[in-house]
C-alpha cells in the first residue's frame, strides 16, 4: 500500500512539473565569448576572450559574468602585453565581473522557443573600480537551448585606466564590449 501511494505521488509530481512548464533554475557556461573594440583613429585594437563564466538564475533573473583579463587574445602579442601590464594591470586586478539583474525577466520564457529582448541593471567591476552599467541584450531559446547576447560601452577614465599622451590617437577613450553566451542547465 505504501509503495502504491509513493508511486502515485511521484506520478502526480511529474505530471505537475510537465504541465507547469518546469524549467531549470540556473543556467551556466564557462566558455562565453567577450570581445572588445578600443580602436582609435590610427590603429585597430580588438581582443576576444572565450573563457567567460556566466550564470543566470532563472527564478530571479539575477546574472553574474566573470572573466580573467589575461585570457583576452589580441592580434599582436605586444598589444596583449600592454593591455595586461599598462592598462588593466591584470597582475593586480586579475578579473572583471558584472553582477546584475534582468529587470524585465518576467517577459522571458526559457521553456518556449523565441527571442526575448532584455534590460539589465548591474555593476561592472574593472581595474579595482565598480560602476553602475545598464545594458540591453537578447536571450534566444531554440530547441531547448538558451543563448544570450549583450552589448555596452564603457569609458576608460571611469575605471581609472589612463591612456598615455604618446598613444592617445591609437586608443579610443571608450570601449565597445560584446558578450555572447551559450548556456547549459545546472544539474
In which band, very low, low, confident or very high, does the pLDDT at 169 lie, cut at 50, 70 and 90? confident
In which band, very low, low, confident or very high, does the pLDDT at 157 lie, cut at 50, 70 and 90? very high
Number of Cα atoms under 13 Å in the Cβ half of residue 80: 12
Task: Please give the pLDDT value at position 10.
Answer: 43
Task: Please give the pLDDT value at position 2.
Answer: 52
Task: Please give the pLDDT value at position 18.
Answer: 43
Task: Please give the pLDDT value at position 166.
Answer: 87
In which band, very low, low, confident or very high, does the pLDDT at 19 lie, cut at 50, 70 and 90? very low
CATH code that applies to domain 23-185: 2.40.128.110
Block residue for cell numbers 546574472? 63
Taking the C-alpha atoms of residue 32 and residue 49, their distance in angstroms, rounded to an integer, is 8
Q: Is the pLDDT of residue 75 over 80?
A: yes
Task: Please give the pLDDT value at position 64.
Answer: 98
Task: Please give the pLDDT value at position 42.
Answer: 87
Tally Cβ neighbours within 10 Å of residue 67: 23
Mean pLDDT over 155-179 rounds to: 92
Q: Is the pLDDT of residue 45 over 50?
A: yes
Domain ranges for the chain = 23-185
Handedness of CA 132, 64, 59, 18 (dihedral sign): positive
Nearest to 99 by CA among 131, 124, 128: 124
pLDDT tens digits along 105-139: 999 999 999 999 999 999 999 999 999 999 999 99
Taking the C-alpha atoms of residue 33 and residue 21, their distance in angstroms, rounded to an integer, is 30
Lowest mean pLDDT of 4-8, 39-43, 55-59, name the range.
4-8
Amino acid at each position: 500500500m505504501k509503495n502504491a501511494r509513493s508511486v502515485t505521488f511521484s506520478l502526480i509530481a511529474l505530471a505537475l512539473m510537465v504541465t507547469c512548464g518546469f524549467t531549470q533554475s540556473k543556467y551556466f557556461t564557462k566558455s562565453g565569448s567577450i570581445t572588445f573594440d578600443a580602436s582609435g583613429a590610427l590603429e585597430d585594437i580588438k581582443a576576444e576572450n572565450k573563457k567567460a563564466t556566466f550564470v543566470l538564475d532563472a527564478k530571479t533573473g539575477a546574472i553574474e559574468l566573470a572573466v580573467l583579463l589575461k585570457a583576452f587574445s589580441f592580434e599582436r602579442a605586444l598589444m596583449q602585453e600592454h593591455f595586461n601590464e599598462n592598462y588593466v594591470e591584470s597582475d593586480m586586478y586579475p578579473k572583471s565581473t558584472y553582477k546584475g539583474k534582468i529587470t524585465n525577466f518576467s517577459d522571458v520564457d526559457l521553456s518556449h522557443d523565441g527571442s526575448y529582448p532584455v534590460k539589465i541593471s548591474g555593476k561592472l567591476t574593472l581595474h579595482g573600480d565598480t560602476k553602475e552599467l545598464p545594458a540591453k541584450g537578447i536571450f534566444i531559446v531554440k530547441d531547448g537551448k538558451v543563448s544570450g547576447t549583450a552589448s555596452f560601452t564603457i569609458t576608460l577614465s571611469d575605471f581609472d585606466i589612463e591612456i598615455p599622451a604618446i598613444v592617445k590617437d591609437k586608443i579610443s577613450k571608450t570601449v565597445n564590449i560584446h558578450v555572447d553566451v551559450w548556456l547549459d542547465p545546472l544539474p
